[in-house]
Amino acid sequence: MQPNLNIVPFVSVDNMMKLVLSIGVEAFLTGLAAYVEDDFRRWESFDKTPRVASHSAEGVIELMPTSDGVAYGFKYVNGHPRNTRDGRQTVTAFGVLADVSNGYPLLLTEMTILTALRTAATSAVAGRHLAAKGARCMAIIGNGAQAEFQALAFKALMGIDRLRLYDIDRTASEKCVRNLKGLGFDIHVAASAEDAVEGADIVTTVTADKQYATILTDNMVGAGVHINAVGGDCPGKTELHADILRRAQIFVEYPPQTRIEGEIQQLPADYPVRELWRVIAGLDAGRADPAEITLFDSVGFATEDFSALRFVRDRLHGTQFYEDLDLLADPDEPRDLFGMLLRAAA
C-alpha cells in the first residue's frame, strides 16, 4: 500500500465485496473470527466505553471507538428499522483505523458489509464457547440482511448444517433459501417461531423492529439450548421474554453497554451476568452442563469492529482491492498550511 503520509487506503463497497469473494465468504468469516477471538483474549489492553449514541424517533446514529494503545479504531453506524420502506438499508456503516503514535489514519473502509460479517463471526465465536457439544441445527428467527452471514459463520466455525428459518415476511425466508442454495445446508422454512425452534440446538434471533418484542417466550426454550440474541441492540428494543433470561446463564460483551441496550435491560441493574472475554481467555467456564441454557446477549462492541478493521488492513497487502485516497493535507513545511493553499492556485 502507498507509503505517502497524505494517502489513506480506502476500501469501497465494491472493493470490499471483491476482497471477501477473493478470500471466500466462509474463509473470510473464519479469519475474522480468529482476530475477534484474539482481541477478546487481550480485552484488558483496550480502552472501553459504551457507544456514543444519538437517538431519534426513527432510529439511532452511533460512534463506536476503542484503542489498544497502538492503533485506534472507530465505526460510524446507524440503525433505522423503517428505512426499508424507502428502499434503504436498516444499518449502514463506515470505519477508520489510525496509528496512535501520530494520529494518522491507516485505513478508511465501508463497514456495512463488514459489520454483517463481524457480527456473524462474533456470534459464532460465542457459540463455539457456549453451545452444547455436537450442535448441528440452528433456528434463525428474522431472515433479513444478517441471516445468511449468521448461517455461514456457524457452519464455518461449528459445522452447523441444518437451518430452520422463520420470518413474519415469508419472502425474507425464501430469499435466504435462494442465497444459501448449494452451500451445504438442509433448510426448513418454518410456519411460526414455535415451529422454527423445534429441535434446534442453537436459536438465533435477529429481528429489526425497534420495540420491546417477545420473539421467544419461555415455553419455547428447552434444556440445553444456546440462544444467540442479536436483534436487541438499543434501548427499548428486545426480543426475549424476561423469564428466559432468568433461566439462562447470560454472557455479554461489555456489561455497561449491554445493560443499556441488550436483553438484560429488562432485568435489575445489578443482575449477575458473565463476560464473554473471560471465557475466551480461560478465566471463567462457559457451559457447565449439557442441560444448561446459555444466552449470548449480543449488542456489538467496538473491539469487534477494531478486529474487523485490523483483519481487512492485513488482507489488503498485495491486492488491488483499495483506492489511494488523498485525505490528509501534507505541506512540505508542516507549519505552512496556508502557503500550501496559496500554491494550489499557481
CA dist 165 and 257 (Å) reads 29
How is the chain split into domains, by residue range?
7-113+303-343, 120-300
Q: Give the residue numbers annotated as catalytic, written as ranges.
A: 233
CA dist 141 and 194 (Å) reads 10
- Are domains 7-113+303-343 and 120-300 of this chain identical in fold? no
> What is the separation of C-alpha 250 from the centre of its chain, rounded to a whole number of angstroms?
18
pLDDT tens track, the chain, 346 positions: 445 667 899 999 999 999 999 999 999 999 999 999 999 999 999 999 999 989 898 888 999 999 999 999 999 999 888 898 899 988 899 999 999 999 999 999 999 999 999 999 999 999 999 999 999 999 999 999 999 999 999 999 999 999 999 999 999 999 999 999 999 999 999 999 999 999 999 999 998 665 667 889 999 999 999 999 998 667 788 899 999 999 999 999 999 999 999 999 999 999 999 999 999 999 999 999 999 999 999 999 999 999 999 999 999 999 999 999 999 988 889 899 999 999 888 7
Q: What is the DSSP letter of 69?
A: S
The residue among 133, 122, 184 whose CA lies nearest residue 158 is 133
Question: Residue 63's CB: how many other CB atoms inside 10 A?
Answer: 14
Q: What does CATH list as the number for 120-300?
A: 3.40.50.720
CATH superfamily membership of 7-113+303-343: ornithine cyclodeaminase, domain 1 (3.30.1780.10)
Instruction: Give, in order, the Cα–Cα distances in Å from 87 to each of 82, 90, 255.
Output: 10, 9, 34
Helix (H) or strand (E) holding 105: strand 105-110
pTM of the model as a whole: 0.93
> What is the separation of C-alpha 62 from the centre of its chain, rounded to a whole number of angstroms?
14
Q: In what order do the strands lie in the sheet with 93-99?
A: 52-55, 60-67, 71-79, 93-99, 105-110, 7-11, 323-326
Name, in order, each residue with C-beta under 8 angstroms of 338's C-beta and a sequence gap of 6 or more: none
Residue 94 Ramachandran class (φ > 0 left, ψ -120 to 50 alpha, else beta) = beta
